[in-house]
Every structure is written in structure tokens, then in C-alpha cells.
Amino acid sequence: MRILFSSTPQHGHLLPELPLARAFRDRGDEVGVITSAGFGPLFAAEDITLFPVGPEIPVLLAEAARLAGVADPTVPDPAVAAELFAGARIDLTADEAVVAARGFRPDLIVAEATDYVGPLVAATLQVPYAKLAFGPQIPAEFTDVFDTVAERRYKERGLSVPVPTWYLDPCPELLQGPDWKPAPGRLPIRPEAHRGANTPEPAAPSSAAGAGARRKVLLSFGTHFAEPGVLRPVIDALPGEVDLVVTLGLAGVAADYGDGLDHVEFVGFTPLAELLDGIDLVITHGGAGTTMGTLSRGLPMVIVPQGADQFLQAGAVAASRTGVAVMPPAGPEAVAEAVLEVLGNTEYRDNARRAADQIAATPSPRDVAGQLAASIG
């Protein structure tokens, strides 16, 4: 079978697709991905075919801001987000994507939750598609805005936005909202902390530090939000009795964070699965991949959302008491207080382990790949 994945060209959108893409590859299926050329090395290492279509995120953001009439594309704005995912990306990517897909002749398209190019290709080629969610179901108040922007582009091509045949859901029920109802076609799928190419699935998480031992905290704001101006005040506010590991994002270096940080271990871009062993708590921006990956290992969090869907993850973590959310405009001192609260109250770790148990009980990506293949075979 031929399975085509589609994603916005950002790590936070693309990496959650990798476990299922690997599962299809390991079954012997032919697997391709449509996204920008910058991800060539990632997929070469995975032995997965990349169809490099469309520009990188900076170009897409600039075009989305122009379409939305916004001067600064770096300032969070719902109109820019809608034009980014459902407007500019279709305008600048869809035609190339359709050509690449025609040559590949997919039997199934898998698109991440905010990708509108994959569904357009599916509608054009009349093949089934599955939507792969990131985390908790995105409220309709957001998706309706995206759909409205996308519908205009689809209509220009004589198409309608298709309804996915399958909704692949990685979110444990513990984190779903009180009014949550399973989406039509829902198939649960086990999320994983991102791991590098050709590395085995991680073993069970190591035990937390014993009584009186120093606690180890991971501070990770992902690939896009790891700004020294945001993280340095948090580092300075954290209690001295914790050992701290800080991720630098894609291109950062320790020197960006200034002097006086000999007590901090800085690490470059590293798969999350390799960072979580021995960790007692994760402080994060609340990206869905980081959130689901951390919970899959039974670790509590302090979430400091910066934008996008991070507020959704933050609210779900807070409501489930798998961690604490520090919402703006609260500052670094509030983050430090939240860290002490989570480390000092075993309820958060107990709930995070409950979430991990629910995740472990859901079908693996290998199981889901087999089920999808059987449905379309």
C-alpha cells in the first residue's frame, strides 16, 4: 500500500506523525510525506520519501500576515493563524502537492489536525483520508474559522473540505473536557515522546528521586518558543534545590542565555524520549507533542503557554491535575511557585501516571496502521 502523510512545515506539527509513518514503513508499505524541503535530512534518516513542496514557515507566515492585513507576523493573531494554515499554505503549496501526489498514487492520506493541503489532495484524487489530532480536541470556535478560510480555496478548485473517514486521537480521556464527545470515526492511537531514527521505544520511566534527593527538572519550550528572553527569567526564579536541564531549540547556544549559569545543563535539539529519563518534572510551553509525550511517561508538568493551541493543553493539564498551568500575565515567580507545588504534592505525579496508564492501554501506532490498512485494503 502507499500511504501519504501531509503536514505544516513545523516540527510540532510533523513529529507527532512520525510514529504512525514508521509503523506503515515497518509493515512494508510505501510511505511518503508532503511538506517543505527543510525536512529532507529528517526523512532521509527515516528511509521515508519526502516530496518537498511549498515554502518554509517564515515565507508562509509573511504571506499569512499580508492576507490578514497584519504588519508583524510574529505577534500571535487568530486571523494570521487561519490564513497560515488554511489560506497561505494552500495558495503556495497545494498545486505542487497535487502533482506530487498524482505521481505517488496514495491509497490513504494522513493529515495532521491543522493541515488543509492533505485533505485537498485527498478530495482532488478521491482517496480516503485520516486526520491525526495532536492532543485534546480543538474547539469548534477555532476550527470553524480555519474551515471558513479553507472553504474559499477549495471552492476555487471545485472542491469541498472533506470530512475525515478516521479521526486518530492520541489524547487520554483524563485530559478531555467535561463536555467531550468522541469525534465521528474516532480511533485512539498511543502517543509517544519523539525519538530519533532507528532508536527503540523507551522502557518504562525511571523512578522519581527518593525522599531528600535533589529533584531533576526539564525546561523545554520546544523548537519555536525557546527564546532566552523568556527562559532566562524562569531559570533565575527557580529554586536552587533542583537540578535543571534546559533545551536550546533548533539553533540556540548556551551563550545566548548569559553568564552565571554553570549550574544549568543546556542541551541542543534532542528527541524528547532521550531527555525524560530520571526527570521529576517538565516545565514546558505546552506544545501538544511535548505534553502528550511527557504524559506517556507518567511525568507531571508546569505549563507556561506562549501561543497557538498551547492554552488548550494548559487548560487540560490543569483540569486533570496532571500539572499546573501558569497563564499570562503571571511571571517567572509564579512558575517557580508552581514548580514547588507540583514537586511537593504527589497528587500531580499520581494523576500523570493515571494518564500514562490510559495512554499505554490505547492501540499502538502499529495496531492502528494495521487497522487502517485492513479498512482500505
Q: What one-character DSSP code corresponds to residue 321?
A: T
- Structure pTM? 0.91
Distance, in Å, from the CA atom of 361 to the CA atom of 48, rounded to the nearest integer, reads 28
pLDDT digits (tens, 9 = 90+) for 313-327: 999 999 999 999 999
Tell me how far CA of residue 89 lies from CA of 29, 77, 333, in angstroms.
28, 16, 39
Residue ranges and CATH numbers for the domains of the chain are: 2-190+362-376 (3.40.50.2000), 215-360 (3.40.50.2000)
Select the more confidently predicted residue: 243 or 120: 120
Flag whether pLDDT at 241 surpasses 90.
no
Select the more confidently predicted residue: 107 or 180: 107
pLDDT for the residue numbered 311 = 87
Run of H or E including 372: helix 365-376
pLDDT digits (tens, 9 = 90+) for 26-81: 999 999 999 999 999 999 999 999 999 999 999 999 999 999 998 877 666 788 88
Q: Which amino acid is at 237?
A: A
Neighbour-count burial of 361, counting CB atoms closer than 10 A to its CB (0-12 exposed, 13-18 middle, 19+ buried): exposed
Report long-range pairs for 49-52 (Cβ below 8 Å, ≥24 apart).
Answer: 49/104, 51/97, 51/100, 51/101, 51/104
Q: Is the distance from CB of 2 to CB of 29 less than 8 angstroms? A: yes
Under DSSP, is residue 286 helix (H, G, I), strand (E, B) or coil? coil
pLDDT for the residue numbered 208 = 52
pLDDT for the residue numbered 75 = 67
pLDDT for the residue numbered 267 = 87
pLDDT level of residue 202 (50, 70, 90 thresholds): low
pLDDT digits (tens, 9 = 90+) for 204-238: 555 455 545 678 999 988 767 778 778 888 888 88
Sequence-distant (6+) residues with CB within 8 A of 317 are: 175, 286, 291, 301, 303, 323, 324, 325
Distance, in Å, from the CA atom of 166 to the CA atom of 260, rounded to the nearest integer, reads 51
**Residue of 108, 121, 105, 107 lying closest to 35 (CA atoms):** 121
pLDDT for the residue numbered 115 = 96
Average the pLDDT over 184-188 and give the result.
Answer: 95
Phi/psi-derived region of residue 150, left when phi > 0, alpha when psi is between -120 and 50, beta in every other case: alpha
Q: Is the distance from CB of 237 to CB of 332 less than 8 angstroms? A: yes
pLDDT for the residue numbered 203 = 58
Flag whether pLDDT at 377 surpasses 90.
no
